[in-house]
């Protein structure tokens, strides 16, 4: 198959443009309407088209005035159903083919989360948002749901007034009118002129407000979050400018941010023109804004140059982490880049320990035959990919030598999708005078061996050595030593150093309950407004079998749905006999309010 996670064959005909006309129905929790798919026919004698779909009700398929025969094939448990369309006559290479499909989604569409008014901050109006990565776009619209297919799109979206609709595109206009039932509605028109893979089609509908945070940026959220968000993300333009300095012009026009309700499963999602972010970033001190740098970096690595299939996911995420840390280096110095790279290794170690050292999901390039990409999701493509790029940068002569390659990579493959083999070929083309150096790299080991990478760069330890010293001191301390620790030891630590201190303790043997109690009295981590610090502290407490940590851990998994926090906490709660039943009870109670991706993965984590 062209893409192991898709039913389509884009070598015969590939979608070039999508025109969407949707109505959002909160009562039925469905989206309905029509999509027109414009194809570039690439072969002679094309007599049928197969699209990806999942739980869609197809009402009519047509070519102009001609109604076309269509059939939904057998449903696969992960990939949905192939939508097989028989054309009225064979089409040949270069022919124009536009297929219109009238349909509606299921109320259980995996791409969409519907929130009742009570689940929102304002408590007065419902809310809906999408998350199409990796292969959920097919539950929102029939399409060629592979990252190898990139298309422009236009859309018209009708919602009940006074709600606001936004998409991963530039808004053209909005109009107020009446529905067929006489109710007040608002219709929004959007245009995405840059070819975009299906997983980056995104929609949100809610009672949203915006504030300007830069010359090409607004932040959107419910009004209850808007002022905090405006301050938290005030450095967005500086990050955009730093990205442009490294890898060329930002081609998407607008760069807006949307702060979603707490159930959003990710830290951020790089939807073009409208990055979705979790409210867990609202720390009050801009300390977690590196996530914004990450999503901004995706504007080039991921969105402009895209992995060919999800087996090459490291091309999206490894490059984006690398570019994110380059951006942060320009704003905060090179030592910060090294420090965050060092922290990333702890995250990588946890993922590998969770999957198992020999798991195929810990390889850089993975196989997804009959595998849900969500099941393979971890920090491996992010941090192992970043480690390879940092290793290559040092091997080839440092940032001044390697950064021009990054720019060249973007310029060569922009608006396209790329495989690992193509990336490697371009690396050799660019560094043609360093072929002998590149030949010393064990490429098979980097791409195809599970576990931690064998060649890890020696990162600068300036910012991490104090974290290491304090973590070692606590790990070795006896109860008689507790009085030697002072609260002021952390006074000069920034938020990232506190995170690293706790992260290093997580890699050691579990602490005692007495140590947890002594640390809490000194440092007051339980009161931290920084979600990353609080998360690590709760994990340390659960590993120490401190019963006082069970309730705050259960509170955290309910208050937010970010997978990075929720899955490890549920795993820790579920493996401790004292807390397992409470964890299962909590999960079953709150499952209806959780994002479908989150609920499905936690069910597997808890083994229920």
Just list the catalytic residues. Answer: 295, 382
Annotated binding site for a peptide: 131-133, 265-270, 562-564
Q: Where are the beta strands (DSSP E) in 347-482?
A: 416-418
Beta-carbon contacts of residue 130 (< 8 Å; ≥ 6 apart): 111, 112, 113, 136, 140, 201, 202, 203, 204
Q: Which residues contact 185 (CB under 8 A, 6 or more apart)?
A: 158, 159, 160, 161, 176, 177, 178, 179
Distance CA(4)–CA(368), nearest Å, equals: 6
| Binding-site residue ranges | 131-133, 265-270, 294, 298, 317, 562-564
The closest of 510, 517, 555 to 535, measured between CA atoms, is: 555
**Tokens 């001190």 sit on residue:** 285
> How is 124-193 classified by DSSP, letter by letter?
SS-EEEE--TTTTGGGTS-B--STT-EEEEEEEEEEETT-EEEESSEEEEEEEEE-TTS-EEEEEEEEEE
* Pair 259, 220: CB distance under 8 Å: yes
* Cα dihedral across residues 206, 211, 214, 216: positive or negative: positive
Binding site for Zn(2+), by residue number, is 294, 298, 317
User: CA of 535: how far to CAs of 54, 355, 496, 541, 558, in Å?
Assistant: 35, 20, 13, 10, 13
Nearest residue to 70 (alpha-carbon basis) of 86, 50, 51, 46: 86
Question: How far is residue 263 CA from its own chain's centroid?
Answer: 14
HSE-CB for 351 with a 13 A CA cutoff: 26
CA distance 526 to 27: 40
Residues 6+ apart with CB under 8 A from 203: 22, 24, 31, 128, 129, 130, 140, 157, 165, 166, 167, 168
Q: From residue 320, give the alpha-carbon distance in Å to each of 324, 383, 410.
A: 6, 10, 12
Place of tokens 């936690």: 602
Ramachandran category for residue 341: left, alpha or beta (phi over 0 → left; psi -120 to 50 → alpha):
alpha
């Amino acid at each position: 198959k062209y893409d192991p996670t898709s039913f389509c064959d884009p070598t015969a005909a590939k979608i070039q443009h999508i025109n969407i006309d949707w109505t959002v129905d909160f009562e039925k929790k469905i989206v309905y309407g029509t999509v027109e798919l414009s194809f570039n026919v690439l072969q002679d004698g094309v007599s049928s088209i197969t699209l990806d779909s999942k739980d869609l009700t197809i009402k009519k398929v047509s070519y102009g005035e001609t109604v076309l025969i269509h059939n939904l094939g057998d449903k696969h448990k992960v990939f949905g159903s192939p939508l097989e369309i028989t054309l009225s006559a064979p089409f040949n290479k270069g022919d124009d083919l536009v297929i219109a499909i009238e349909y509606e989604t299921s109320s259980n569409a995996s791409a969409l989360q519907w929130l009742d008014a009570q689940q929102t901050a304002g408590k007065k109006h419902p809310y809906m948002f999408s998350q199409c990565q990796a292969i959920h776009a097919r539950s929102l619209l029939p399409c060629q749901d592979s990252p190898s297919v990139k298309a422009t799109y236009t859309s018209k979206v009708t919602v009940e007034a006074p709600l606001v609709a936004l998409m991963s595109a530039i808004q053209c206009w909005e109009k107020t009118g009446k529905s067929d039932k006489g109710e007040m509605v608002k219709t929004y028109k959007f245009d995405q002129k840059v070819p975009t893979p299906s997983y980056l089609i995104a929609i949100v509908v809610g009672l949203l407000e915006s504030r300007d945070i830069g010359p090409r940026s607004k932040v959107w959220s419910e009004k209850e979050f808007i002022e905090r968000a405006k301050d938290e993300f005030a450095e967005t333009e500086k990050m955009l400018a730093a990205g442009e300095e490294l890898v060329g012009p930002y081609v998407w026009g607008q760069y807006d941010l949307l702060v979603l309700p707490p159930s959003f499963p990710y830290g951020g999602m790089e939807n073009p023109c409208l990055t979705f972010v979790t409210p867990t970033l609202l720390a009050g001190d801009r300390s977690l804004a590196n996530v914004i740098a990450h999503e901004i970096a995706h504007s080039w690595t991921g969105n402009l140059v895209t992995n060919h299939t999800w087996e090459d996911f490291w091309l999206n995420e490894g490059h984006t982490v690398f570019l994110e840390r380059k951006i942060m280096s320009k704003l905060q110095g090179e030592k910060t880049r090294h420090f965050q790279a060092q922290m990333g290794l702890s995250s990588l170690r946890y993922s590998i320990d969770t999957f198992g050292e020999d798991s195929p999901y810990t390889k850089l390039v993975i196989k997804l035959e009959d595998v849900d990409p969500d099941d393979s999701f971890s920090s491996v493509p992010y941090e192992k990919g970043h480690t390879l790029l940092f290793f290559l940068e040092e091997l080839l002569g440092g940032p001044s030598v390697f950064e021009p390659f990054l720019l060249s990579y973007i310029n060569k493959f922009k608006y396209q999708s790329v495989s690992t083999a193509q990336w490697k070929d371009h690396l050799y083309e660019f560094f043609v005078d360093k072929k002998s150096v590149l030949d010393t790299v064990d490429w098979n080991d980097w791409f195809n061996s599970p576990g931690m990478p064998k060649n890890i760069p020696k990162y600068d330890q300036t910012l991490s050595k104090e974290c290491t010293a304090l973590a070692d001191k606590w790990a070795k301390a006896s109860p008689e030593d507790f009085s030697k620790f002072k609260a002021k030891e952390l006074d000069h630590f920034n938020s990232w150093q506190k995170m690293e201190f706790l992260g290093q303790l997580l890699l050691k043997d579990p602490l005692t309950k007495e140590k947890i109690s002594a640390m809490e009295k000194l440092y007051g981590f339980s009161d931290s407004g920084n979600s990353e610090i609080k998360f690590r502290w709760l994990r340390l407490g659960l590993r120490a079998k401190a019963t006082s940590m069970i309730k705050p851990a259960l509170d955290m998994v309910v208050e937010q749905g970010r997978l990075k926090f929720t899955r490890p906490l549920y795993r820790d709660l579920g493996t401790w006999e004292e807390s397992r039943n409470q964890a299962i009870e909590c999960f079953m109670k709150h499952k209806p309010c959780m994002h479908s991706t989150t609920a499905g993965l936690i069910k597997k984590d808890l083994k229920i």
